[in-house]
């Protein structure tokens, strides 16, 4: 037997590295379809005229590239107030997330670099209370908010998150611990106050951690449903998640409009993610893993 | 670092105020309420451990505990495996990898209310796309009713939950993978270790602290699950997809039984606490901190 079964050299051997790359892309694409399929369908439905919404198998949106392609978006934004809801959510989530950056970084600095009475107790309370689900504490919280006369304002949605975030404080503490004490001592010799050290050394170094924290806090507050449902009664104060839920209750059959609203609710988060993405891995890496 | 005794308190003051007023306060009230009969409108009435004995003797309570554990047993390994797989894939230096990372992260950033409608539609019994595919392309004549089916409602919710959470845990794994020095892989390759050996001898042991972090994290998330149940099944059919936090919500807001709801919450905490403590005990057996 002289016939060789190996590939002749002239046609070029298949490089195992290339096979691996092709297999990787196949796996990446397959999993990407699983991740993104619901969104694609959602998006496609927003380009359907009313009658075509329920067709099976799903058809490509019949309004795509036609005049009036974005009619569903126009209608929910203007007629059903989603513009207002989106701005409300931006305000609430933005304030809560910015607040958390301030308070979590202040507290994280004290936890990482200072000694004080009650430090461990306070940190223990912070961590252990974060295990308790909101639905347990929401009723006493509701009673508290009504005593404070905060019902139907944004204060109950903003203030608690603004002041205290477990993940954020933990994350900032972990990150600040990695900053060498020599840096602090040197600044001290130059006569800097503790607050100045925090502001001019620690904050600038923590951009990746703070960006990640902002993204997570923003997502969390933007997507919250329970608190806005309980605390907000005026329709002009509704956040986008509440807007979606009530729209679903009132005009449940208008799928293309409903899903246009849902798409609008995701868009700002996607934009923030795109800006923050290069910091996320680094932000998570420096914190909370050890 | 030199600072006056009061300085640290200025730094923690905002956080500590929030913690005591908006978190610890309501928790203490809730814990006290677990010993009362309380419908919110009238004053609470002390009944000792009545709520606890009622829960322990209630069939529904145990069914809900069983559901919660079933959910956890699929959710935790599901998220961990998928997240690790995704992280390994997106840790490669390939063109367009940032795009894939973004796609996998997308479910995590989305509000459940926004995607629940689409998932409801996927799982819909007669006009859902899943059953359409099962009957038309796979010729299964009697596909399950999914969300309306006692046996399938909870698994269906779990799949959605895994889909939603994996992107975030992928980022955590990815951060861990990028912390492993590449020189280790180079040295192993010189010694003739193949990819499989490299994974089990380097990646896996060095990733174990991160794996543990992800494990504890997903465990707590599993016990807190609420949004998905609320938006997709409302706990039904017939309690089949009711998990503990949803049950607590039902008792508090629908049946106006605040005392009983908080007693359940305390029991939930005991269960989570016990499992977490057990996990930390088991940690030394497989988590490797030494480099």
Q: Considering only residues 154 to 213 of chain B, which have any Cβ-Cβ distance to chain A shorter than 8 Å?
A: 163, 167, 171-172, 174-176, 178-179, 209-210, 213
Q: Does the pLDDT value for residue A1 go beyond 50? A: no
| C-alpha dihedral (B270, B209, A287, A208), degrees to nearest 10 | -130
* Contact check, Cβ <8 Å, A39/B106: yes
Interface probe with A: pick from B12, B125, B224, B275, most Cβ of A within 10 Å: B12
Partner-chain contact A137 B167, CB within 8 Å: no
By Cβ distance, the residue of A122, A140, A262 closest to B29 is A140
Task: Decide if B132 touches A, using CB distance below 8 A.
Answer: yes
How far is residue B101's CA from residue B79's CA, in Å, rounded to a whole number? 16
8 Å CB contact of B101 and A277:
yes
Contact B110 A223 (CB under 8 A): yes
Residue of A nearest to B263 (CA): A136
What does the pLDDT average to over A92-117?
Answer: 93
Please give the residue of chain A at the shortest CA–CA distance from B108: A219
Residue range B167-189: mean pLDDT, rounded: 88
Task: Judge whether residue A11 has pLDDT over 70.
Answer: no
| Selected residues 88-107 of chain B with any CB under 8 Å from a CB in chain A | 89-90, 92, 94, 98, 100-107
Domains and CATH numbers, chain A: 74-283 (1.10.3720.10)
- pLDDT(B67) > 60: yes
Q: Tell me: pLDDT of A155 over 90.
A: yes
Domain boundaries, chain B: 52-286
pLDDT of A254 above 90: no
Mean pLDDT of chain B: 87
Does domain B52-286 match CATH 1.10.3720.10? yes
Q: Which residues of A178-208 are buried (b: 16+ CB within 10 A; e: fewer)?
A: ebeeeebeebbeeebebeebbeebbbebbeb
- ipTM for the whole complex: 0.83
Taking only the tens place, the pLDDT of each residue in B7-56 is 889 999 999 999 999 989 998 988 898 898 888 788 888 988 988 998 88
The residue-averaged pLDDT of A219-225 equals 90
Q: What is the pLDDT of residues B36-50, one digit of tens each?
A: 888 878 888 898 898
Contacts of B222 (CB under 8 A, 6+ apart): B68, B71, B72, B75, B76
Answer yes or no: is pLDDT of A62 > 90. Answer: no
pLDDT band at B252 (very low <50, low <70, confident <90, very high): confident
Interface size A-B, in CB pairs within 8 Å, comes to 251
Please tell me the distance from the alpha carbon of residue B111 to that of residue B109, in angstroms, as a whole number.
7
Q: How confident is the model at residue A290 (pLDDT cuts 50, 70, 90)?
A: very low
Closest of B243, B250, B249 to residue B272, by C-alpha: B243
For residue B12, the model assigns a pLDDT of 92
- The reported pLDDT for the residue numbered A78 is 86
B213/A288 CB distance under 8 A: yes
Distance from CA of A264 to the nearest CA of B (A): 9
pLDDT (average), residues A203-210: 88
Local confidence band at B290 (pLDDT 50, 70, 90 cut-offs): low
Report the pLDDT value the prediction gives residue B22, as an integer from 0 to 100: 92
What is the pTM (predicted TM-score) of this model?
Answer: 0.86
Q: Which residues of B touch A169 (CB under 8 A)?
A: 15
Helix (H, G, I), strand (E, B) or coil at B134: helix
The answer, yes or no, to whether residue B86 has pLDDT greater than 90, is yes
- Quick one: pLDDT at residue A4? 46
Mean pLDDT of B157-174: 93
Integer Cα distance of A290 and B44 in angstroms: 44
Residue B162 has pLDDT above 90, yes or no: yes
Beta bridge partners of B46: B36
Residues above pLDDT 70, as percent of chain A? 91
For B130-146, what is the mean pLDDT? 81
Chain-chain contact of A32 with B248 (C-beta, under 8 angstroms) = no
**Amino acid A289: pLDDT:** 54
Cβ contact A114–B273 (<8 Å): no
CA angle B269, B274, B280 (to 5 degrees): 125
**Residue A33 pLDDT exceeds 50:** yes
Considering A42-51, B84-93, B280-289, the range whose residues carry the highest mean pLDDT is B84-93
Q: Three-state secondary structure along chain A?
A: CCCCCCCCHHHCCCCHHHHHHHHHHHHHHHHHHHHHHHHHHHHHHHCCCHHHCCCCCCCCCCCCCCCCCCHHHHHHHHHCCHHHHHHHHHHHHHHHHHHHHHHHHHHHHHHHHCCCCCHHHHHHHHHHHCCCCHHHHHHHHHHHHHHCCCCCCCHHHHHHHHHCCHHHHHHHHHHHHCCCHHHHHHHHHCCCCHHHHHHHHHHHHCHHHHHHHHHHHHHHHHHCCHHHHHHCCCHHHCCHHHHHHHHHHHHCCCHHHHHHHHHHHHHHHHHHHHHHHHHHHHHHHCCCCC
On chain B, the residues whose CB falls within 8 A of the CB of A265 are: 111, 113-114
For residue A135, give the nearest of B98, B115, B226 by CB distance.
Answer: B226
Output the pLDDT for position A7: 46
Do the beta carbons of residue B260 and residue B51 sit within 8 Å? yes
Query: Is pLDDT of B158 > 90?
Result: yes
Residue of A nearest to B8 (CA): A110
Taking only residues 204 to 233 of chain B, the set having a beta carbon closer than 8 angstroms to any beta carbon of chain A reads: 209-210, 213, 220, 223-224, 226-227, 230
B27 and A110 in contact by Cβ < 8 A?
no
pLDDT value, residue B289? 63
Min Cα separation B220/chain A (Å): 7
Confidence of residue A53 (pLDDT cuts 50, 70, 90): low
Tell me, what's the pLDDT at A52? 62
Pick B102's closest partner by Cβ from A54, A277, A285.
Answer: A277
Instruction: Tell if the CB–CB gap between B14 and A265 is shorter than 8 Å.
Output: no
- Residues in chain B with CB shorter than 8 Å from the CB of A198 are 11
Report, as an integer, the average pLDDT of B161-176: 92
- B283 Cα to chain A: minimum distance (Å): 13
CB-CB: which of A27, A36, A269 is closest to B89?
A: A27
pLDDT-based confidence at A61, cuts 50/70/90?
Answer: confident
Closest approach of A247 to chain B, Cα-based (Å): 11
Instruction: Kindly report the nearest CA distance between residue A153 and chain B, in angstroms.
Output: 16
Average pLDDT over residues B136-150: 82
Give residue-wise pLDDT tens across range B87-131: 999 998 888 898 999 999 999 999 888 888 888 888 887 777 888
Q: Is B85 on the interface with A (CB under 8 A)?
A: yes
Q: How much is the average pLDDT of A234-244?
A: 90
State the average pLDDT over residues A119-141.
82
> Average pLDDT over chain A, rounded to whole?
84
Which has more pLDDT, B71 or A182? B71
Over 90: is that where the pLDDT of A143 sits? no
CB-CB contact of B8 with A114 (8 Å): yes
Asked if residue A3 has pLDDT above 60, the reply is no
């Amino acid at each position: 037997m002289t016939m060789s079964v190996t590939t002749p050299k002239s046609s070029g051997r298949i490089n195992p590295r290339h096979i691996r790359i092709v297999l990787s892309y196949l796996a990446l694409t397959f999993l990407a379809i699983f991740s993104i399929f619901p969104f694609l369908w959602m998006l496609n439905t927003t380009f359907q005229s009313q009658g075509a919404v329920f067709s099976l198998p799903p058809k490509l949106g019949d309004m795509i590239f036609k005049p009036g392609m974005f009619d569903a978006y126009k209608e929910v934004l203007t007629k059903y107030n989603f513009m207002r809801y989106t701005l409300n959510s931006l305000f609430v989530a933005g304030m809560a997330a910015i607040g958390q950056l301030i308070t979590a970084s202040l507290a994280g600095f004290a936890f990482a670099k200072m000694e004080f009475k009650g430090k461990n107790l306070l940190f223990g309370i912070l961590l252990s209370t974060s295990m308790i689900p909101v639905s347990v504490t929401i009723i006493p919280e509701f009673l508290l908010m009504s005593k404070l006369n905060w019902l139907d304002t944004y204060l109950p949605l903003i203030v608690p998150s603004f002041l205290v975030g477990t993940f954020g404080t933990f994350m900032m503490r972990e990150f600040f611990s990695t900053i060498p004490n020599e840096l602090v001592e040197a600044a001290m010799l130059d006569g800097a106050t503790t607050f100045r050290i925090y502001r001019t050394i620690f904050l600038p170094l923590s951009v990746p951690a703070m960006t990640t924290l902002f993204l997570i806090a923003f997502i969390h507050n933007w997507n919250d449903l329970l608190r806005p449902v309980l605390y907000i009664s005026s329709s002009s104060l509704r956040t986008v998640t509440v807007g979606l839920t009530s729209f679903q209750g009132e005009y449940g059959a208008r799928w293309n409009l409903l899903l246009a609203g849902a798409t609008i609710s995701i868009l700002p988060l996607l934009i923030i993610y795109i800006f923050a993405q290069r910091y996320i891995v680094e932000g998570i890496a420096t914190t909370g893993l050890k | 670092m030199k600072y006056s005794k009061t300085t640290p308190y200025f730094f923690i003051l905002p956080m500590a105020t929030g913690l005591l007023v908006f978190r610890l306060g309501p928790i203490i009230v809730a814990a006290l309420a677990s010993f009362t009969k309380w419908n919110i409108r009238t004053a609470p009435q002390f009944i000792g451990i009545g709520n606890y004995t009622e829960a322990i003797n209630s069939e529904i309570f145990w069914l809900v505990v069983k559901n919660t554990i079933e959910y956890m047993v699929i959710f935790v390994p599901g998220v961990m495996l998928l997240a690790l797989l995704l992280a390994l894939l997106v840790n490669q230096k390939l063109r367009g990898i940032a795009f894939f990372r973004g796609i996998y992260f997308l479910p995590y950033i989305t509000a459940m209310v926004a995607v629940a409608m689409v998932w409801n539609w996927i799982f819909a019994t007669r006009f859902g796309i899943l059953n359409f595919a099962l009957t038309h392309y796979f010729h299964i004549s009697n596909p399950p009713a999914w969300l309306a089916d006692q046996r399938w409602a909870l698994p269906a919710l779990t799949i959605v939950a895994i889909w939603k959470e994996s992107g975030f845990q992928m980022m955590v794994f990815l951060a861990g993978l990028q912390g492993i020095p590449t020189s280790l892989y180079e040295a192993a390759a010189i010694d003739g270790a193949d990819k499989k050996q490299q994974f089990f001898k380097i990646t896996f042991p060095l990733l174990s602290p991160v794996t543990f972090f992800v494990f504890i994290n997903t465990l707590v998330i599993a016990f807190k699950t609420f949004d998905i149940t609320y938006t997709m099944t409302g706990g039904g059919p017939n309690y089949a997809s009711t998990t503990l936090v949803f049950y607590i919500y039902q008792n508090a807001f629908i049946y106006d039984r605040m005392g009983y709801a908080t007693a359940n919450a305390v029991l939930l905490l005991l269960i989570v606490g016990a499992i977490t403590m057990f996990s930390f005990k088991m940690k030394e057996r497989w988590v490797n901190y030494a480099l």
